[in-house]
């Protein structure tokens, strides 16, 4: 249900405040991935299925599992990429079958995302993969910690229960398994193509994972368009902050821009209707660009790489989904309710009266 403007404003102020608090804490702790901590706080608070606490819990659990699985694959199978790719395909299929079942779905989604991300880090930089994994997990913990503390202190949320879902995993649902296999194949194809054309493979793979969980091809394309719209909004906002912070290089000014940007992104997420996903993407991408290390501050390269990843992921998803057996091209038309036998049957045109 769409919140009222007043509710959305209050929620947006709280989320933006938490994002800035996370920025200050992550900078104080000198985290290597301060941006990840900030947009983790945003994502946990801005939109969730059950509670913000559950989304944070599932984010930590899922990414922890994914990081561990990626480290295991990197350690044992880095020299045999074909075996590693086969295992990734099997693990992704399992992750997304669980996702489609609705049982801790967000946990399974996060595990799949970070399984791929950590494996790619280990494949191209094996000497730093353990350090990167620790830093990634630390940033996630800080982001979730700040979101929970701010929610509790503000009295916004106090529920710490976890909804596990109740859909049975067995017997195997062929429709879930079919889309899970499609998703795994699309990810593997994307990783290979990204490597061949020298694009960041992790960014493209993540776009594939997010896009192909759509229920049909039409929704997949719309989701890709909204990801690009959110990226454009975040890039424009970040470019403005680069100009002003470049003229007045003060941390409070950067924090103000982050606050205002996350407020707008949250409000659009809550009140944007069919465009709400663009707001969610804006709040995710803005810290990626604006909350950068001093040497990278002012660079729009992360935005360009993300755009390339989205386009590659969207292209791969559309092609594979379009060719994949039994993947619907559009939503099924709604089934009209049965007409009672005693009710008069309307002739064409009568329902317009």
pLDDT range class, residue 321, cuts 50, 70, 90: confident
Q: Is residue 121 part of a domain?
A: yes
Q: Is residue 344 part of a domain?
A: no
Q: What confidence score (pLDDT) does residue 350 get?
A: 40
Average pLDDT in the chain: 86
SS (H, E, C) 148-168: HHHHHHCCCCCCCCCCCCCCC
pTM (2 decimals)?
A: 0.88
Question: What pLDDT digit, counting tens, does each position of 116-174 carry?
Answer: 889 888 888 889 999 999 999 999 999 999 999 999 999 999 889 999 988 888 899 99
- The helix/strand count (H/E) of the chain reads as 12, 0
What tokens were used for 290?
């604006």
Q: Is residue 82 part of a domain?
A: yes
* pLDDT tops 90 at residue 212: no
Q: Is residue 337 part of a domain?
A: no
Answer for the pair 23, 258: CB distance below 8 angstroms, yes or no. Answer: yes
Task: Give the total number of structural domains in the chain.
Answer: 1
Q: Is residue 339 part of a domain?
A: no
Q: Is residue 242 part of a domain?
A: yes
Q: Is residue 271 part of a domain?
A: yes
Distance of CA 73 to the CA centre of its chain: 23
Q: Which residues form the domain of 189? A: 5-159+172-327
d(CA 47, CA 2): 11
What tokens were used for 350?
């009568």
Q: Is residue 345 part of a domain?
A: no
Answer for the pair 60, 104: CB distance below 8 angstroms, yes or no. Answer: no
What DSSP state is assigned to residue 227?
Answer: H
Answer for the pair 190, 201: CB distance below 8 angstroms, yes or no. Answer: yes
Question: What pLDDT digit, counting tens, does each position of 183-204 carry?
Answer: 899 888 888 888 787 776 667 6
For 334-341, the CB contacts below 8 A with 24+ separation are none
d(CA 200, CA 158): 40
């Amino acid at each position: 249900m769409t919140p009222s403007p007043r509710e959305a404003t209050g929620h947006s102020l709280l989320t933006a405040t938490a994002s800035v608090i996370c920025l200050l804490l992550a900078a104080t702790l000198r985290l290597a991935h301060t941006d990840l901590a900030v947009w983790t706080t945003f994502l946990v608070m801005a939109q969730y299925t059950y509670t913000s606490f559950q989304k944070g819990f599932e984010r930590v659990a899922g990414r922890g599992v994914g990081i561990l699985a990626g480290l295991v694959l990197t350690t044992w199978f880095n020299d045999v990429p074909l075996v590693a790719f086969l295992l990734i395909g099997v693990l992704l299929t399992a992750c997304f079958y669980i996702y489609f079942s609705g049982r801790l779905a967000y946990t399974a989604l996060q595990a799949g995302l970070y399984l791929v991300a950590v494996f790619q880090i280990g494949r191209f930089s094996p000497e730093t993969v353990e350090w990167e994994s620790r830093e990634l997990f630390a940033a996630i913990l800080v982001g979730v910690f700040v979101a929970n503390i701010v929610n509790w202190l503000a009295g916004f949320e106090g529920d710490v229960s976890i909804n596990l879902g109740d859909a049975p995993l067995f017997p195997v649902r062929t429709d879930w398994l079919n889309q899970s296999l499609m998703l795994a194949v699309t990810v593997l194809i994307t990783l290979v193509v990204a490597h061949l054309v020298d694009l960041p493979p992790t960014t493209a793979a993540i776009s594939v994972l997010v896009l192909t969980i759509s229920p049909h091809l039409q929704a997949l394309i719309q989701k890709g368009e909204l990801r690009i719209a959110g990226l454009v909004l975040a890039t424009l906002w970040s470019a403005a902050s680069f100009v002003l912070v470049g003229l007045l290089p003060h941390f409070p000014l950067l924090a103000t821009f982050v606050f205002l940007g996350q407020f707008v992104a949250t409000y659009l997420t809550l009140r944007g209707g069919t465009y709400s996903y663009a707001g969610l993407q804006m709040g995710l991408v803005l810290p990626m660009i604006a909350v950068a290390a001093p040497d990278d501050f002012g660079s729009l390269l992360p935005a360009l790489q993300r755009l390339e990843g989205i386009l590659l992921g969207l292209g791969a998803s559309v092609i594979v989904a379009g060719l994949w057996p039994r993947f619907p091209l559009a939503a099924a038309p709604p089934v009209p309710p049965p007409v009672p036998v005693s009710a008069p049957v309307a002739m064409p045109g009568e329902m317009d009266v």
